[in-house]
Amino acid sequence: MSDQPTPTPPSNPVIPGFHPDPSICRVGEDYYLACSSFEYFPGIPLFHSRDLVHWTQIGNALDRPSQLRLPPDSRSSGGLYAPTLRHHAGRFWLIVTNVTPGEGNLLVTATDPAGPWSDPIRLPGVPGIDPDLAWDEEGNCWCTFAGVAQIRIDPRTGETFGEPQPVWSGTPGAAAPEAPHLYHIGEYWYLMIAEGGTERGHGVSIARGSSPNGPFEPCPSNPILTHRSTTRPIQNTGHADLVQAADGSWWMVLLGVRPQGGTPGWHILGRETFLAPVSWVDGWPVVGEVSPELPELPWPLAPVPVPAERDDFESNELRPCWISLRDRPTEHCTTKERPGWLTLRARGGSLDEPDVVFLGRRQQHLAFRARTLVDTTEGSGGLAVRLDERHHYAIEATPEGTARVIARIGSLRTVAAELPLPAGPVVLTVHTGEAPQPHDARTGPDSLVFGVEATDGTATQLASLDGRYLSTEVAGGFTGRVVGLYAASGAVHFDWFDYTPLTGPVAS
């Protein structure tokens, strides 16, 4: 299974799937990027690239219980919001908000972005969300956060100096000024923010001033990026960060979505990371087109091997792309109990429960197939596509020899299909199928087809379910689909898992 990089040939998004709120920094020829992770553990995936296009996940910043508290009753789309990743004085610095009550803004550091990262420095004097870090020439560290306001901090201790002071908050009347990033470029300090809300009205605006505290003059061309009120295939563009390449060119990473189907358009993968070129005109950044095609790059793209998509669970440690819900105690999730198998030991009784034992990976392609070989002689469990506790589909095998497809949509929960199984381990499958009525404006984004495979390779389809109900437009929230494995009772063993991108949907 892929620890990503993005599939070849490269295209936009450069980091597909649920990877929102990108923050980027460059050290020499190397680029590093962090994204939000919300209720999933480990938190804050970290990526590396040499060309801004091919990204490989190298770790997660918050991968120990001492770093990240996400209690079982913490809500979906809660948890970790909007990191800022910076390199200063020989260290990497990452600041992020844990919106779990009692947590707040946290700061961790590392000399190697692959980890280990420090235990968090807490910042009780920094309110709000979406914190940013910037250092001036005197060594002062300024933390700017959504609202927009700013305070000076000591990043080594968490001490704050004075009270937060309001700074430029974007277009008057625009909703949700957030995601601030402060940069010293040439003779100016630039304050870039997102505004308009993170849905279809999202956009990026910028202002500049002579000091990190302003006063700030807004760009006359604001917003410098938005796709609102357009029919472009990429929507919700915003929450951006800037980086200068080693050759002097400038680039923007940003989040966006790819709506599918009819009205109103359903995005199923969450908010993804896109790349756009930036030029400078009269001291202001001008953002190039954000489209499914990559922008023209001033350097050649090195060939990247096709990543492996299968995990045989032969290592004692899970790959960094695997994520769990809120925590991952070894007594509930291990590859050491049964060599060459993943063992999940149930806690919550179903995917409806916030403490269900679940291990998944982000769905990163509009069309895909996932399969797993599962042994349920000691418990019930299976293969699921999850958005949150109230929106998920699954195929579950039981010790009694039954496979059932379960659909949870809001307050409704139903068993969509059942099938008796032969004795022994069974292969459970899910793939995307054709959306119905392709010329109807009410068409959903896709369908999800669940089935089983016999030892001779023959497949039996159990149910095809409308994919729109596992979309953000239906469920709300800030995440995207996650495909993975779970235990509903007892101990469930998984021999392997594979995830295959498809060039198009599989006919239902």
Q: Which residues are catalytic?
A: 21, 178
Q: What is the DSSP letter of 376?
A: -
Q: Which residues are CB-contacts of 329 (< 8 A; sequence separation ≥ 6)?
A: none
- Angstrom distance (rounded) from CA 423 to CA 445: 36
Give me the residues paired with residue 86 across strands.
93
DSSP string, 242-255: EEE-TTS-EEEEEE
**Distances from the Cα of 378 to the Cα of 57, 345, 371, 492, 494, angstroms:** 34, 10, 20, 6, 12
Backbone φ and ψ of 387, nearest 5°: -110, -45
Q: What is the Rg, in whole angstroms, of the alpha carbon atoms belonging to the chain? A: 23
Pairing mode, if any, of strands 482-501 and 368-375?
antiparallel
Q: How far apart are CA 252 and CA 275, in angstroms?
A: 6
Q: φ, ψ for residue 36 (rounded to 5)?
A: -70, 155
Helical H runs in 318-390?
none
Cα angle 256, 257, 262; round to 5: 150
From the number of C-beta atoms within 10 Å of its C-beta (0-12, 13-18, 19+), residue 489 rates as middle
- Taking the C-alpha atoms of residue 380 and residue 397, their distance in angstroms, rounded to an integer, is 6
C-alpha dihedral (282, 287, 288, 289), degrees to nearest 10: -150
DSSP symbol at 173: T
Say which residues have a Cβ less than 8 Å from residue 105's Cβ, sequence separation at least 6: 95, 96, 97, 98, 122, 123, 126, 127, 128, 129, 131, 145
Question: What are the residues facing 152 on neighbouring strands?
Answer: 142, 161
Distances (CA, A) of 32 to 18, 22, 35, 191: 17, 10, 11, 21
φ, ψ at 474 (rounded to 5°): -90, -50
Pick the closest to residue 228 from 191, 276, 174, 302 (CA basis).
174
